[in-house]
Structure 1
Amino acid sequence: MTAVLVVLVILAIFVITALAKTVKIIPQARAGVVERFGKYKDTLTPGLNVIVPFVDKVRYMIDMREQVVTFPPQPVITEDNLTVSIDTVIYFQVNDPIAATYEIANYIQAVEQLTMTTLRNIAGGMDLEETLTSRERINTGLSTVLDEATGRWGIKVKRVEVKSIDPPMSIKDAMEKQMRADRDKRAAILTAEGQRQSSILSAEGNKQSAILNAEGQRESQILRAQADREAAILRAQGEGQAIQTVFQAIHDGQPDQSLLAYQYLQMMPKIAEGDANKVWIVPSEIGKALEGLGSSLSNLQGIPQETDGPRTRVDLGAPAPELGTVGTAASNAAEEAVKAAIAEADSAANTGASNGAPGQAEPPADEPAPEQP
């Protein structure tokens, strides 16, 4: 009984193991390579698959998705004998799981080595500066070579990217110094250009300012000269009108010899006024003025006996308003003083006429000028 139970247990274990080896579940985007006695038998697709237990065996499980592999930096010598480190990233996908299994032992390592050799070949034909600035060229060259080489391995290289290109530290320092010098040079050039533009603009501004100032001064001088000319013309016209007005008033009044002689005598004290006037000369006409002070027959040299009045009349404007009762005392006193002086002069003339020929006074003879005291 015990032996039968042991046999049943062993048989159950065998059945379970056989079922486990018979049923295979393949995940999505995977492919299982089945071998029978070490020889390729079939490729299992995603889902539930049945194989012969203990005869068929799933040797490899291939990932059919696109994969990303990054490789460590690889030292590369450029054309100008400088070593740089280039780090790359490759995107690839397995299209044929049978070829990827049996055509190449390790396709990832093969891709890495092929990338390294191709990268050295491409970078060896470029100098350092070209290598640093030709990433697209390196990517295109790597993609072309890897696509041709990995096609027979059942692999499709989708894309190749250069992550970084690192030159040696000494080269980096030299490049940084060169870049710093270039930046300083550009900054100095821009500063000089800015100063030049500023100087040019300042000079142009000063020029325009000087031109505008000169034009302003010229116009100011022209306007000032015109104003002076017009002022002189108006001043001359005013003086001319004033002279005409004075002469018109004189001729309209028709002064006689007595009035002119009296005014002549009134000017004599003003000649002697002043502290510095110690010596003054008496004109020779003073005697004649005294002789003909009250006589209508006496004449002074330079004063015409008859006046016909001005030939050119000047408009004097509206007549001055008459003075009222207020302020007439001064004018009455002046008239009385003039009348008294005229009467005194007439009495003196009559006295002189009585001593001479009656009826007509002889014109005064020319007398020599009095000697200077």
Structure 2
Amino acid sequence: MDPITLVVVAVIALFVLTIAVKSVLVIPQAQAAVIERLGRYRTTGAPGLNIMVPFIDKVRARIDLREQVVSFPPQPVITQDNLTVSIDTVVYFQVTEPRSAVYEISNYIVGVEQLTITTLRNLVGGMSLEETLTSRDHINGHLRGVLDEATGRWGLRVARVELKSIDPPPSIQDSMEKQMRADREKRAMILTAEGQRESSIKTAEGQKQSQILAAEGAKQAAILAAEAERQSSILRAQGERAARYLQAQGQAKAIEKVFGAIKDGKPTPEVLAYQYLQTLPQMAQGDANKVWMIPSDYGKALEGFAKMLGAPGDDGVFRYEPPVDTDTRPRPEDDDESVADWFDTAPDPKVAEAVAAAEAVARKEVPGPLNTPPRSVGGASPVPQLEGEQPRSLHQPGDPV
């Protein structure tokens, strides 16, 4: 083959290869291509393999279909109260119509930025500084609605608009910091006062419960003391009654023995005079200032006493004559059954029952919010007592049992 023919074949092959390459267009996923034919819009290429007419069809632009995030620099905005604030915004949008994004606007990113700035100035211009600082959600929602409606003809969908920062002037920032500091101090003082109030209430409640428990303890102690005093008085009275009965019974026996001895001895005036003289020193004993006058004729007095109580004997001496015992009344015996229970050492059932009832009341747990664990006394039921109080027994030393 001659060289000319070889060159022609090579040129034809290169032309065919160029046509083949120009006829195939591969578009990546999440992208779209706007294709023009002879300068006019023909179609929008979808992701994948697309066939084009070489040298006639041309790709005008490739559009990213993913959601895009555009952060705009801070913009000065004047509020309704003539204060300049610096606002930094972020816009999230997505291209839904590649043809409109290419042919309806020259640069849709710049268009979104300028539209955001103008809308933000119009919106913040009708709000005060305090409303601007506290109405982020309202501003974000209003901006999104306006931008989404305005950019719809550009083939865009605004997903979200966020205000990154709202910076007031430095002088306003200082005032706001002072105000915030004052608010924090105010809240701290309020919380401190609330805490002190709660603490005072809790302390008063604790003192109230403590006084209630102390009153209950004093009441129970008074009940036990009264019952113990009552039982002691009863037992003491029983003992005194039995002692007096025994003393009276002993005196009766002694008088009976003396009386019998006198009757058996049949005393004479001489014996009576002797006994009289023996008794005088005993009568004169003591610290009292007593003066005893001894009659000089006491012998005649005794003789008259003997004559009154006695009768003359064979020798003319008056002797004691016991009268005829006509008293048939029964004499008290040592083993009288009517007083046998006076000497019973067993406690009175009524007294024991009263003491048991008082102890049951004392052992009863006093209800209250202080949940003091009960402590037992001598293996018996627990007795409530105050926190910090020393354990006390139901029976104090010296109380009667």
Which interval holds the TM-score relative to the shorter structure? 0.5 to 0.7
Q: CA deviation at 1:18?
A: 2.8
The total of aligned residue pairs comes to 310
Q: CA deviation at 1:36?
A: 2.7
- What is residue 334 of structure 2 aligned with on the other side? 316
* CA RMSD in angstroms, aligned pairs only: 4.2
Q: Does 1:119 align with 2:137?
A: no
Spell out, residue by residue over 1:120-172, the C-alpha distance to the aligned partner (whole angstroms, 9 max, x if none).
33333333443333332222212211111011111112233334444454255
Q: 1:280 to 1:189 in 2, by over 3 A?
A: closer
Structure 1 unaligned spans of 5+: 300-304, 319-373
Q: Between 45-54 and 203-212, report the one with greater CA deviation.
A: 203-212
Q: Output the CA distance in 2 between the equivalents of 1:278 and 1:222.
A: 42
2:335 maps to amino acid: G
Q: After the TM superposition, which residues 113-192 of structure 1 pair with which residues of structure 2 at under 5 Å, given as runs?
A: 113-167=114-168, 168=170, 169-171=173-175, 173-192=177-196
Equivalent position SS for 1:28:
coil
Q: Output the CA distance in 2 between the equivalents of 1:199 and 1:10.
A: 107
Equivalent position SS for 1:208:
helix
- What is residue 110 of structure 1 aligned with on the other side? 111
Higher Cα radius of gyration: 1
Seq. identity, %: 41
Equivalent position SS for 1:317:
coil
Q: Output the CA distance in 1 between the equivalents of 2:108 and 2:296.
A: 152
Q: 1:23 to 1:292 in 2, by over 3 A?
A: same
1:125 maps to amino acid: G
Q: 1:122 to 1:175 in 2, by over 3 A?
A: farther
- What is residue 340 of structure 1 aligned with on the other side? none
2:216 maps to amino acid: L
Alignment check: 8 A CA contact 1:92 1:158 kept: yes
Q: Between 245-254 and 265-274, report the one with greater CA deviation.
A: 265-274
- What is residue 204 of structure 1 aligned with on the other side? 208
Q: Output the CA distance in 2 between the equivalents of 1:256 and 1:119.
A: 140
Q: CA deviation at 1:191?
A: 2.3
Q: Output the CA distance in 1 between the equivalents of 2:296 and 2:136.
A: 127
Equivalent position SS for 1:152:
helix
Alignment check: 8 A CA contact 2:97 2:155 kept: yes
Which of 235, 245, 260 lines up with 1:241 in the alignment? 245
Q: After the TM superposition, which residues 48-63 of structure 1 pair with which residues of structure 2 at under 5 Å, given as runs?
A: 48-63=49-64
Tell me the TM-score normalized by structure 1: 0.66
Q: Output the CA distance in 2 between the equivalents of 1:248 and 1:75.
A: 128
Q: 1:96 to 1:181 in 2, by over 3 A?
A: same
Alignment check: 8 A CA contact 2:284 2:292 kept: no
Structure 2 unaligned spans of 5+: 310-321, 337-401
Q: Output the CA distance in 1 between the equivalents of 2:328 and 2:123.
A: 123
Q: Output the CA distance in 2 between the equivalents of 1:272 and 1:41.
A: 162
Q: 1:241 to 1:265 in 2, by over 3 A?
A: farther
Q: 1:51 to 1:227 in 2, by over 3 A?
A: same
Q: 1:122 to 1:193 in 2, by over 3 A?
A: farther
Q: Output the CA distance in 1 between the equivalents of 2:161 and 2:123.
A: 14
Alignment check: 8 A CA contact 2:91 2:158 kept: yes
Q: Output the CA distance in 2 between the equivalents of 1:16 and 1:232.
A: 140
Q: Output the CA distance in 2 between the equivalents of 1:310 and 1:249.
A: 17
